[in-house]
Homo-oligomer: A and B are copies of this chain.
Amino acid sequence: MKSAERATAEGILFTDQYQLSMAQLYYRMGLHERLVQFDHFFRSYPDYGVHQAGYCVNAGLEWLLDWMRDAHFTDSDIAYLRGQRDRVGKPIFQDDFLIWLRKAGDFNGISLRAIPEGRVVHPDVPLTVVCGPFAMAQILETPLLNHLNFQTLIATKASRIRESTHGRTVLEFGLRRAQGKAANAGVRAALIGGADFSSNVGISHVLGYPPKGTHAHSMVQAFVALGEGELAAFRAYAEVYPDDCLLLVDTIDTLASGIPHAIQVFEELKRKGHHPVGIRLDSGDLAYLAIRAARMLDDAGFPDTAIVLSNELDELVIWQILTQIQRQAHEFGVEPDSVINRLVYGVGTRLITSAGDAALSGVYKLVAVHDGDEWKPALKVSDSPGKTLNPGYKHAWRLYDREGKATADLLGLADEHPAALDEIVLRHPFDPTLQRTLRRSDMSEIEPLHVDVLSEGQLVYDLPTIEDVRARRLADLDRLDFGVKRLVHPHVYHVSLTQKLWDLKQELIA
């Protein structure tokens, strides 16, 4: 795309055509400034085929707000819409609507509540609640989902990968296989979800994280092609980066050439007073090679050097690698933990694309329309009971048990105050036979999940730093049952309705 076209393609027209068709219809019916509420939520956790998530990590809000602040209909956008024609050649959009759109077509009337970024979130709980004039709240649907679905998807995958590493460093390496420019949103989400750094230079700069990376096979190949060999390549690298010397050892033969050459260069560096950083393994049996490499580096007097692993890693591959090291290391006279504790993970394709389930099923559904003095709940029924909407103006709370663990998320109507009750009835969202009653005294906390973010377009929320968002994720994961965090077949976290919301839903369905 030419840079001059970017404003058109990434501005307010970054939405679906039907949002504009509906906006004009609302204008024509006098409904365009009618206050409505939309809930944004996802229906199910990512399911990677042979494994599946038991929770998600919320992400994307700040970049959505950035987009909303800038988005408006420019003269050129309006001119384009004026030129659109229907099947018989008549203009699709009329002038009165376009004049209104040019003047009022921004998000300054939108109020927005949301669950903060970094928090652990679950299906059916509104992550974002949009309240605003019908036409603009409708146009917002597509860009809101675009921003929030992707970052939540990637933050979730990153959190799983982080969980699999026993807390070791995770480097995001996905730019080359990422979905175009979404690479940058993906890096932000990966950092929120658990990656520590990225190889992507520009976005690391913007987000204030130092980018990471050393060298590729091509450097070694070039020295070999010029008749100088791998050792010369490593020496050149050590000369230019004596205090950042991390060498990729698999260009020729990892055990017979790469590691011995690396050790030779490390010894030269050591004699000059530098601390070699480590090696990277990018092919072959990474668990076996990590054990052998650890042993060779130990024997050579470099027990503190890191071993970076890369090559199609994800949470299951890392889990397998760690399991193999735990079982196999002793064969080579190495303590498994001494290998595991020096590992660093470079995770590319499978993180940035959320391999196995490359989209989050986030939706944005009309739940209430303001009429006279009241909010009228809006419903959409479905043949699948799980897809029938939870209607109305709602709030959401998280209930913690006596040990401080999250035990359920509860959806109720806005005028309910579960914290004031002695007993709370938790209804399954659609199965009438499933309910349980919790006593207030069995709960350590009832926490409202939403914060006010926008009030009629004005930011009323202190945006946290990414470090704050990361800390919030860690705090939420600490309060999550271990079974829910399992990588495979996780325990199902409860999301429930209050009795009052359940009754309203049944009444509307009837």
Contact = CB atoms under 8 A, between A and B. Distances in A.
Contacts of A90: 243
B201 A146 contact: no
Contacts of A241: 21, 25, 86, 92
B145 A218 contact: no
B175 A236 contact: no
A25 B236 contact: yes
A285 to B, nearest CB: 9
Given A16-B173, A147-B180, A218-B365, A358 B360 contact: no
Given A145-B177, A206-B8, A379-B221, A240 B366 contact: no
Interface string A364-402: 111011010000111111111001000000000000000
Interface of A: 1-3, 5, 8-11, 13-22, 24-26, 28-29, 31, 36, 38, 49, 63, 66, 70, 80, 84-88, 90, 92, 134, 138, 141-142, 145-147, 149-151, 173, 175-186, 188, 199-206, 210-219, 221-222, 224-226, 236-237, 239-241, 243-244, 251-253, 275, 277, 283-284, 349, 353-355, 358-362, 364-366, 368-369, 371, 376-384, 387
Nearest to A352: B359
Contact of A150 (B17, B178, B205): B178
This chain: copies in complex: 2
A177 to B, nearest CB: 4
Contacts of A10: 181, 184, 202
A244 to B, nearest CB: 4
A328 B484 CA distance: 43
27 contacts: A8-B205, A11-B202, A13-B201, A14-B175, A14-B200, A14-B201, A15-B175, A22-B218, A24-B240, A25-B236, A29-B236, A36-B222, A49-B49, A90-B243, A134-B222, A180-B182, A180-B186, A217-B366, A218-B365, A218-B366, A218-B378, A221-B365, A225-B369, A225-B379, A283-B384, A283-B387, A353-B358
A18 B205 contact: no
| 8 nearest A-B pairs in the assembled complex, by CB-CB distance | A13-B202, A18-B213, A17-B213, A179-B182, A179-B179, A358-B358, A180-B182, A145-B176
Contacts of A213: 16-19, 21
A20 B66 CA distance: 30
A380 B221 contact: yes
A347 to B, nearest CB: 13
B25 A215 contact: yes
Interface of A is mostly: mixed
A88 B509 CA distance: 66
A180 B150 contact: yes
A97 to B, nearest CB: 10
Given A200-B16, A277-B87, A184 B243 contact: no
Contacts of A49: 49
A118 to B, nearest CB: 17
Contacts of A201: 13-17, 20
A215 B251 contact: no
